[in-house]
Structure 1
Amino acid sequence: MPGTSHAEDRHSRTEATRLLCAGVYQDAGFRRRVIDELVGHRERPVAPSLGVDVLPVLAHALRVARQETRTALLMLAAWAGFLVSDLLMVWDSVSDRWGPGAEVDFGIAFEAMYLGQENVTGGLWLPWSHVYAVVAFALWLAAALSERGPAVKELGLPAPVARAADGVGSLATVGSLLLVVAYWYWYVAGLIDGSAQTPYPALFPLLIALIGWQHQAAHRKALCQWLSKWTFRTATQPGLPTGPPYDTLVRDIRREQHAPVTLYDVEQPFVGLGTRKRSWSFAMELRKVFDGRRDRIPAQVDGAAGAVPRTRERLTARAALDLIEPQLVELRESAARTGRDRLRELEIERFLYLPGGVGRAEELELGGVDDAGAHAASGQGRGAAYAVYEPEQIAAHRDEAIDEGGEARRVFLRVRIGGWHEQLVVTVLVRVHTQGGMLVLEAESSVLGPIRKEFRGVDALVERLPEKWHRAALRALRHAPAIGLDCAIGAFGTLWRTVTSHVPRDEELPDVPRVSLRALAAQQKLSRFQDMDAERYIKTVEERIVGGVRTALREHGYRTEEFEQHIYQVSGGGVFIQDMSGGSIATGSHGQAHAHTTPPPGTGRPGQEGHPA
């Protein structure tokens, strides 16, 4: 199949990418969302992709969309033939009743089919094609409700609501099957009593089932050929179509999905990171260590052997990050040397967040971002070079913003661990402030859960292939009408996107990433093991961050006592009280505290009232 040629991304063969590609075959709603986000909203930059490459996902989605269009056209032809057969039967019935030589035109036959006394279904109120259309809609509705069942449970709705949703889906399934049985019973009964004297009410449903069978067989062949766990890493995957708008789209996605920068909406800045796991911060005053003489800093810390020599340079956010990063690199190398822990694949980078309000191709003026509260564009517009994501622009903004402590433009140290074959993605964002003689450390951790269970079921589906022909035939008879309606909806969406894709988009307002496809396909619930691993990853990374900040304070000659106390409070869950006068303290789940104006007997100092002699 022709497609655009491009260098393969380092995440193109990950398990997460494979399951997302399989998901576009299994979930029509997800497939349409992929195409709508990446093609229909090309004005939006792509959200940061964690452990996935969305280009193969889009290529498979477009391939299925083309298959949907072909199937929809075949289904349309079959339904048109079904309707024409009904009309011809009515026409023939009216002609026989009016006698030879009577002129019966199309309008008379059409009116007789709906308003007259001609009945071609042996007593049913609608022609055969219309009755089967009701059956097809019922099957489609039952399938749609059944697919929504797992999604409803993921929403965490109250148990009565979830049970009611399951009940509605089950009722729709049973009702649709009863309609199928009633249709075939009515036709067979008509053959027996002579009211149905033509085979077309059976032939066209069988033709529709055959088209649906072919559609399902094409999907299953694609899963076996490209997306099974045995073939995915070596098979050549489908490519994107050539020509506009896909040539530009490939360049844009390639540049944005793994770039160390993203545009953001202040209401939803961390698109794609998943569920917020933990957030903590602390602030402390930066106080130099003195040995009794002003501005003299001892070379060792508390006389400890091997302590790090101090300098008199001011501690900056850049210097702190420069000392945090080696701690994380050493953690990664140590994990690689000593075992198979996923920390050996830990990713570290300085990530830039820029506020929305400018097109992805506009050049941003340095220094104008936080002053105006939004981007200051150079006026080159969308016809300019791809400025926001140019390495030179990213480096310039990152160097300027790292120590400015601004509100809009922010630089984080982003640490990412992809565990369970990229099914568990843990991200820790760290930001350091050193303005006003203060040190402020912020840490934000997020967890992106595994890909949905139905997507992960692709291997179980592939293992059952090839299946017996009679099972496939029965499944096609049941699902083909719903497949036809699904394909019609998908084909209409494809046609609409094709028409609108040629509309000039230069006048559209600049946008920011709104949806992450990896997060869209993720489930919220973690297994117990995954939750334990996520907690371990976060605590391990936080400990290395703390070690880096501690080293930075010592190297620059600052006191670390207050820092150690803060860290004990944050990591140990304890309570640190530096000074206390009066009051009371209680510890433990059942502790009680009582304040006394005078010391209880036996607790005063020697010589004071209440102290035993």
Structure 2
Amino acid sequence: MSLPEHRYSRTEATRLLCVGVYQDAGFRRRVIKELLDHRERPVAPANGVDVLPVLSHALRVNRLEARAAWLMLGAWVGFYLSDVMMFWDSLADRWGDGADIHYSDVQTALFQGDDRLTDGLPLPWSVLYALVALALWFARAAGERGGSAARSAGLPDPVAKAADGAGSLISFAAWGFALFYWGWYLKALLGGHAQTPYPLLFPLAMALIVWWYQTAQRTDLCRWLARWTFPTATQPDLPPGPLFEVLRDDVRREQEAALTLYDEDSPFLGLGEQGASWSFAMELRRRPRTPGDTGPEDADTGDGSGNGNGSSGGSSSGSGSGKGVLPRQAAGPLSAESALAMIEPQLTTLRESAGRTGKDRLRDLEIDRFVYLPGGVARDEELEVGGVGDPSTALTRGDGHRRGLTVYDPAQVAAHLREAVDEGGEGRRVFLRIRVGAWHEQVVVTVLVRVHTQGRMLVLEVVPYVLGPIRKEFRAVDAFVDKLPETWVRAALRALRDAPVIGVESGLGGFTTLRSTLTAGWSDDDRLPDVPRVSLRALASTSRLSAFQRMDSTRYVKTIQERIVNGVREALKAHGYRTEEFEQHVYQLSGGSVFIQDMSGGAVATGSHGSAAHHAAAPHPPTAPATNASTTS
């Protein structure tokens, strides 16, 4: 089933998340769990990533892992049966012909040992090799996940370092146990005490399975996900079937929609770490009129909220020819719609300027309006368009009947954008979303803007978010791929080394896949409508930014905030409101400085250690000044 193209289908973030499903089995299973097992959940907003190719690669690796697991299972069963047959023959020789030998007798003999079969080892060959494989797998897992799990859980650095140390200690003990028994195994095997070659043949067979498994993965990385092939390569398709057809259509619609459902505890899912929010409130006061001014009247006719009809497309230039006409005058009171319409051109100009003058990442600035809707609606639940927007927008089928649409359909989203922008509701909210995907989508800066204009008040809310780069081990794939192809000798030695660990990993992965397959669909019909719970882009990210990345993210946020300020200032002027109080708020919130329009008496201090005091004037002598202000810093 072919994958639809999305604007983020070829981004570096999409490529690295596809790489991640090959390198991290836990991440791969989380991708499948969120997108396939929890089909009642919509996907999180696309933040520089198309999740369909990620799911496609995850399913492909799962199929490879399942085949390797079945082959490994066959090798292990054969290994164990060889042990059983050897001990059965040994008991038959010892007890004589015609002896009644049961399987329980063989089991007792297996764990009593036999000097002729195992050179005095306390366990049979298969069980001993299984212990070695488990110990090696546990050693690697403890070493890799000791501190990373603590850091991903947000624990302080001292706790993470302690977890690192504990993981290293456990890993060292497991390595020691594994090497001890591995040495014992090889000594008994190479010492010539094994009566048959099966204790060597089955580990070699497992190494061949691992060789095939690793080669298939490396081939896929070079074919689809290398830096030079990913931009043009056609990514693997989803499996055929109605389930994946529905899933593909749902994910495509949800990623392209300017709307998302949210949970109250985490409304801005996947945006990253919140920066310093910025908000203020001011009273809307009319500017004094001048002769010939054709702007709005001094007294508002409403509560200041407007209905978005006065300047929904931005502000219009004055067309009168009389003198004293203020430019860019707009009819009607200031509304949230008209304020956002004045901010958007400022950001568009910034983007165009950055594109003309250099390679600044602001040339790719994304500007759109986005709706956050409370959860409670299923991703595939049909709604009447007229129930959300204007009844005249209801779509009809060929037979003239009204057609229900899901909440993510364009008609529904347009209705929400139209109605919610000026309502100031608590649940449904419209934001102006400004996004910068910097460092090849490794650092994502998102600024959300919301405007309220009810009750002759202007309230501006600006909330920035920064999403960190994708995990370092995912980004290391390019250095790995550059070394391919490798010689067969090196590949064979690596397969021999990794065979015990990969044998355990493929077995665990195969068991997980089998369990998911058997339980899929059992309770789907009983699941309540849900909201996005996990952002795969955020799940694969880190919070550590380099010095340059932090500098750039700060610059982007400050530049965007300055454009927002200019847009609000222009909106106030265009609608005939005074801007002095707005300028005062801007200066107060910019770097902690203070703006004073006029002052009579008192004292002012500046600087981080400044102090000021005001002293009342003495009544005598008459020539003394009325106030005496002193300033120190």
Normalised by the size of structure 1, how large is the TM-score? 0.89
1:387 pairs, out of 398, 406, 421, with 406
**Residue 185 of structure 1 aligns to a residue in which SS?**
helix
Corresponding residue number in structure 2 for 1:248: 246
Say if 1:281 and 1:440, in contact at 8 Å, map to a contact too. Answer: yes
**Residue 249 of structure 1 aligns to a residue in which SS?**
helix
Corresponding residue number in structure 1 for 2:233: 235
Say if 2:113 and 2:122, in contact at 8 Å, map to a contact too. Answer: no
Which amino acid letter does the alignment assign opposite residue 450 of structure 1? P
CA positional deviation for 1:603: 14
Corresponding residue number in structure 1 for 2:308: none
Of 422-431 and 463-472, the range deviating more from structure 2: 463-472
2:577 pairs, out of 558, 563, 568, with 558
1:514 aligns with 2:511: no
Rounded Cα–Cα distance in structure 1 between residues aligned with 2:13 and 2:623? 67
1:404 aligns with 2:423: yes
Corresponding residue number in structure 1 for 2:87: 90
Q: Unpaired segments of 5 or more residues in structure 1?
A: 370-383
CA positional deviation for 1:298: 9.1
Say if 1:289 and 1:297, in contact at 8 Å, map to a contact too. Answer: no
Corresponding residue number in structure 1 for 2:354: 335
Say if 1:191 and 1:197, in contact at 8 Å, map to a contact too. Answer: no
Which amino acid letter does the alignment assign opposite residue 240 of structure 1? L
Corresponding residue number in structure 1 for 2:394: none
Corresponding residue number in structure 1 for 2:522: 503
1:208-240, Cα deviation, whole Å (9 max, x unpaired) = 122112211111111111111011112221110
1:447 aligns with 2:456: no
Say if 2:613 and 2:629, in contact at 8 Å, map to a contact too. Answer: no
Which amino acid letter does the alignment assign opposite residue 85 of structure 1? S
Q: 1:405 and 1:550, CA in 2 relative to 1: closer, same or farther beyond 3 A? A: same
Q: 1:29 and 1:291, CA in 2 relative to 1: closer, same or farther beyond 3 A? A: same
CA positional deviation for 1:96: 1.4
Rounded Cα–Cα distance in structure 2 between residues aligned with 1:337 and 1:222? 39
Rounded Cα–Cα distance in structure 2 between residues aligned with 1:11 and 1:34? 17
Identity %: 61
Rounded Cα–Cα distance in structure 1 between residues aligned with 2:261 and 2:465? 19
1:78 pairs, out of 75, 78, 86, with 75
1:422 aligns with 2:420: no
**Residue 425 of structure 1 aligns to a residue in which SS?**
strand
Which amino acid letter does the alignment assign opposite residue 94 of structure 2? R
Rounded Cα–Cα distance in structure 1 between residues aligned with 2:619 and 2:198? 101
CA positional deviation for 1:329: 1.1
Say if 1:315 and 1:434, in contact at 8 Å, map to a contact too. Answer: yes
2:272 pairs, out of 262, 271, 274, with 274
1:163 aligns with 2:161: yes
Which amino acid letter does the alignment assign opposite residue 161 of structure 2? R
Of 18-27 and 135-144, the range deviating more from structure 2: 135-144
Q: 1:194 and 1:220, CA in 2 relative to 1: closer, same or farther beyond 3 A? A: closer
Which amino acid letter does the alignment assign opposite residue 64 of structure 1? V
Of 163-172 and 535-544, the range deviating more from structure 2: 163-172
1:196 aligns with 2:194: yes
1:493 pairs, out of 512, 515, 529, with 512
Of 185-194 and 75-84, the range deviating more from structure 2: 185-194
Rounded Cα–Cα distance in structure 1 between residues aligned with 2:629 and 2:479? 78
Corresponding residue number in structure 1 for 2:258: 260
Say if 1:602 and 1:610, in contact at 8 Å, map to a contact too. Answer: no
CA positional deviation for 1:99: 1.6
Rounded Cα–Cα distance in structure 2 between residues aligned with 1:40 and 1:499? 11
Rounded Cα–Cα distance in structure 2 between residues aligned with 1:192 and 1:600? 110
1:47 aligns with 2:66: no
Of 272-281 and 504-513, the range deviating more from structure 2: 504-513
Q: 1:603 and 1:397, CA in 2 relative to 1: closer, same or farther beyond 3 A? A: farther
1:434 aligns with 2:467: no
Rounded Cα–Cα distance in structure 1 between residues aligned with 2:271 and 2:530? 19
1:115-155, Cα deviation, whole Å (9 max, x unpaired) = 68788433332222111111111111122223324454555
Of 158-167 and 48-57, the range deviating more from structure 2: 158-167
1:352-411, Cα deviation, whole Å (9 max, x unpaired) = 110011212335578999xxxxxxxxxxxxxx8442011111111211111110000000
Of 131-140 and 153-162, the range deviating more from structure 2: 153-162
1:532-558, Cα deviation, whole Å (9 max, x unpaired) = 111111111111111111111111110
CA positional deviation for 1:333: 1.2
Corresponding residue number in structure 2 for 1:37: 34
**Residue 256 of structure 2 aligns to a residue in which SS?**
coil
Of 598-607 and 24-33, the range deviating more from structure 2: 598-607
Of 491-500 and 132-141, the range deviating more from structure 2: 491-500
1:301-320, Cα deviation, whole Å (9 max, x unpaired) = xxx99952434511111111
Of 489-498 and 353-362, the range deviating more from structure 2: 489-498
1:467 pairs, out of 486, 497, 510, with 486
Corresponding residue number in structure 2 for 1:15: 12
**Residue 416 of structure 1 aligns to a residue in which SS?**
strand
Rounded Cα–Cα distance in structure 2 between residues aligned with 1:175 and 1:320? 65
Rounded Cα–Cα distance in structure 1 between residues aligned with 2:628 and 2:92? 123
Rounded Cα–Cα distance in structure 2 between residues aligned with 1:457 and 1:177? 26
CA positional deviation for 1:568: 1.1
Rounded Cα–Cα distance in structure 2 between residues aligned with 1:604 and 1:150? 75
1:427-483, Cα deviation, whole Å (9 max, x unpaired) = 111111000110001011101111111000000000111223343333222322221
Say if 2:602 and 2:629, in contact at 8 Å, map to a contact too. Answer: no
Q: 1:610 and 1:177, CA in 2 relative to 1: closer, same or farther beyond 3 A? A: closer
Aligned length in residues: 593
Corresponding residue number in structure 2 for 1:376: none
Corresponding residue number in structure 2 for 1:375: none
CA positional deviation for 1:345: 1.0
Q: Unpaired segments of 5 or more residues in structure 2?
A: 298-318, 389-402
Say if 2:617 and 2:625, in contact at 8 Å, map to a contact too. Answer: no
Of 14-23 and 122-131, the range deviating more from structure 2: 122-131
CA positional deviation for 1:572: 3.6
CA positional deviation for 1:200: 2.1
1:33-68, Cα deviation, whole Å (9 max, x unpaired) = 000000011100010011111100000000000001
1:346 aligns with 2:362: no
Rounded Cα–Cα distance in structure 2 between residues aligned with 1:258 and 1:192? 62
